[in-house]
Amino acid sequence: MKKKKVAIYGGMFDPPTLGHLDVIKRAKVLFDKIIVVELKNPDKAPMFDKKTKLKMLKAMLADFPEIEIYQHDGLLTSFAYSVGANYSVRGIRNGFDADYERPMFEFNSEIARTEFEDYSLDTVFIPTTRQNFDTSSSNIRALIQGGAFKTAAKYLDSRVLEIIKSV
């Protein structure tokens, strides 16, 4: 029996953007199962709390009930192991993203090999499409903080934008 290809797509999703959604939709074609996990980054202070980020992810992915959504405060590799995922999906916009993601890929692979017997975690990089090339959560947070909701709407699912306006 062929082993299912299970992938996780981890990130802060602060907020989840149309760029994230694009990567998720394109990953669905490659894998049997996609699991989205909102992760905590101890080096960054999020704009939105965990409860709000989960609500936004569920709203954005409401049309894809087959996609599982979780939150995890630990290492991505530990979470991937716990759900049986052998692939991590990462979206990349440019060379800077690729330079940032490459060491993370190596680090996650090392953790998988070292901490968990007979486990490997491979990373699949999905380049952004042209319309999402400049989609950046940090830029979108700046738009939100500045009240530029019409501009932010270009980068956010309408359901996510409504949640943001309500908090």
pLDDT digits (tens, 9 = 90+) for 110-145: 999 999 988 999 999 999 888 877 788 899 999 999
Instruction: Report how far residue 7's alpha carbon sits from residue 35's, in angstroms, rounded to the nearest whole number.
Output: 6
CATH 3.40.50.620 is the classification of domain 6-166: yes
Q: Token pair for residue 87?
A: 């692939």
Instruction: Report how far residue 163's alpha carbon sits from residue 167's, in angstroms, rounded to the nearest whole number.
Output: 7
Instruction: Report how far residue 152's alpha carbon sits from residue 161's, in angstroms, rounded to the nearest whole number.
Output: 8
DSSP 3-state of 87: strand
Burial class (CB in 10 A: 0-12, 13-18, 19+), 13: buried
**Can you give the residue ranges of every domain in the chain?**
6-166
Instruction: Report how far residue 45's alpha carbon sits from residue 61's, in angstroms, rounded to the nearest whole number.
Output: 24
Task: Establish how many alpha carbons lie within 13 A of residue 18's alpha carbon, considering only the half-sphere containing its beta carbon.
Answer: 17
Tell whether pTM > 0.85: yes
pLDDT digits (tens, 9 = 90+) for 30-67: 999 999 999 998 888 999 999 999 999 999 999 999 99
**Is the CB of residue 126 less than 8 Å from the CB of residue 23?**
yes
Residue with tokens 């975690």: 121
Instruction: Report how far residue 82's alpha carbon sits from residue 73's, in angstroms, rounded to the nearest whole number.
Output: 13
Whole-number pLDDT of residue 67: 98
**Is the CB of residue 12 less than 8 Å from the CB of residue 19?**
no
